[in-house]
Amino acid sequence: MDPVIVVHGGAWAIPDQISEASVKGVKTAASEGFAVLKKRGSALNAVELAVRAMEDNPVFDAGHGAVLDADGEVELDAIIMDGKTLAAGAVSSIRNISNPVTFARSVMEKTDHVMLTDRGANLFADGLGIPKLATETLVTENERKEWEHYQKYAQGVKELFNAQWDHDTVGAVAVDCDGNVACATSTGGIRNKMVGRVGDSPIIGSGGYADNHSGAVSCTGHGESIMKVTLARLILFHMEQGKAAGQAAEVSLQYMGERVHGGGGAIVVSNKGDWAAKFTTERMAWASVKEDIMSYGLNPKEIFSEHIQD
Ligand code: ASP
């Protein structure tokens, strides 16, 4: 079958000064992930690579570019999931590493567990020899300034709705030539979050889920709301009931808005290659590639398309 990749660079109100860089970042990540799929690589490898590309790009709130918590430190969350076996790996409150998505994959492949957190996760990372980077290496100068300006978590959430938010969570979903699906999500969370706060991103069924029987989803937005409705799993439930990817994402995001007043976004791919990128926030940077056509957008109902070069 024709492989498909969809990536997001986070929901919320991405300010104009970083909108171009956000769109460029998601397009690059989507092409890198698609190159894997085109060579008959696995959906799992494609989503990991795409998310790594965005973790390495400081325009996004993941890996390099992560936001600071209430203590002025970085705590990262990530998940990766293989729809073929339902194997999943997640990490939360991990400190000072570049690529939490790859670390989450190590949890999936090298331990008997699905999630590691805090001290244990950090010890496991040390045991694997993953280099620890100084906080200032991961954090942008602008983030440090913003953090000093806004010291309250509640203020952090308000900023998200008021177009002052700098950068966002990242995610990818893919279906490969063999019909296997996978998802990955990675984030620094929300600025000024309490130390130890874990959002939706690493929670299986909330920030992401992948099952070959239906498809794969990666979410972004207000983590506390996403967790309450287990958004990723809810979207796949609607697909299992016969809805198309776009419709399933729309009804689920609408339900989250009505039920818990939360905004967010999701990227979805079905096991047949039907895909969607939907959001209820002001903006969400996203890009997809299917049959060598790259589609991308940032504002509601916006879809640009171009042929990708080999
Ligand atoms: N969902 C993430 C969190 O709450 C934030 C985001 O998607 O921007 O940690």
Residue 162 has pLDDT above 70, yes or no: no
Phi and psi (nearest 5°) for 127? -60, -30
Average pLDDT over residues 251-279: 97
Q: How large is the greatest C-alpha to C-alpha distance in the chain, in angstroms?
A: 50
Name the residue of 22, 51, 167, 187 whose CB sits within 8 Å of the most ligand 1 atoms, as the mutation to test its pocket: 187
Amino acid 167: pLDDT: 58
Are the C-beta atoms of 219 and 170 separated by less than 8 Å?
no
d(CA 242, CA 238): 7
* 162 vs 21, residue with greater confidence: 21
Average pLDDT over residues 152-173: 64
Residues 6+ apart with CB under 8 A from 31: 289, 294, 308
Of the residues 8, 200, 225, which should be mutated to test ligand 1's pocket, given the most ligand atoms within 8 Å of the CB?
200
Distance CA 22, CA 286 (A): 9
The 10s digit of each residue's pLDDT in 202-242 is: 999 999 999 999 999 999 999 999 999 999 999 999 999 99
220 catalytic residue (yes or no): no
Ligand 1 neighbour 202 (Cβ under 6 A) = no
> What is the model's pLDDT at position 157?
57
Instruction: Give the class (CATH, top level) of 4-70+79-87+141-307.
Output: alpha beta
pLDDT tens digit sequence for 45-103: 999 999 999 999 989 988 888 888 888 888 999 999 999 999 999 999 998 899 999 99
Could you tell me if the CB of 288 is within 6 A of ligand 1? no
> Where are the chain's structural domains?
4-70+79-87+141-307
**Cβ contact 102:52 at 8 Å:** yes
**pLDDT for 163:** 45
- Nearest CA, atom 9, ligand 1: 189
Q: Calculate ∠ Cα 264-146-220, nearest 5°.
A: 15
- DSSP string of the chain? ---EEEEE---S---HHHHHHHHHHHHHHHHHHHHHHHTT--HHHHHHHHHHHHHTSTTSSSSTTPPP-TTS---EEEEEEETTTTEEEEEEEE-S-S-HHHHHHHHHHHSS-SEEEHHHHHHHHHHTTPPPPPHHHHS-HHHHHHHHH---HHHHHHHHHTT------EEEEEE-TTS-EEEEEEE--STTPPTT---STTSBTTTEEEETTTEEEEEEE-HHHHHHTTHHHHHHHHHHTT--HHHHHHHHHHHHHHHH---EEEEEEETTS-EEEEESSS---EEEEETTEEEEESSTT--EEEEPP-
265 lines ligand 1 (CB under 6 A): no
Is pLDDT of 148 > 90?
no
- 283 Cα–ligand 1 center, Å: 14
Please identify which of the residues 28, 140, 169, 280 carries the catalytic annotation: 169
Distance 199 CA to ligand 1 centre (A): 6
Task: Reply yes or no on whether the pLDDT at 193 is more than 90.
Answer: no
pLDDT for the residue numbered 71: 85
CB 289 within 8 Å of CB 26: no
Q: State whether the beta carbon of 83 lies less than 6 angstroms from ligand 1.
A: no
pLDDT band at 145 (very low <50, low <70, confident <90, very high): confident
pLDDT, tens only, 111-143: 999 999 999 999 999 999 999 888 888 888 888
Q: Mean pLDDT for the chain? A: 92
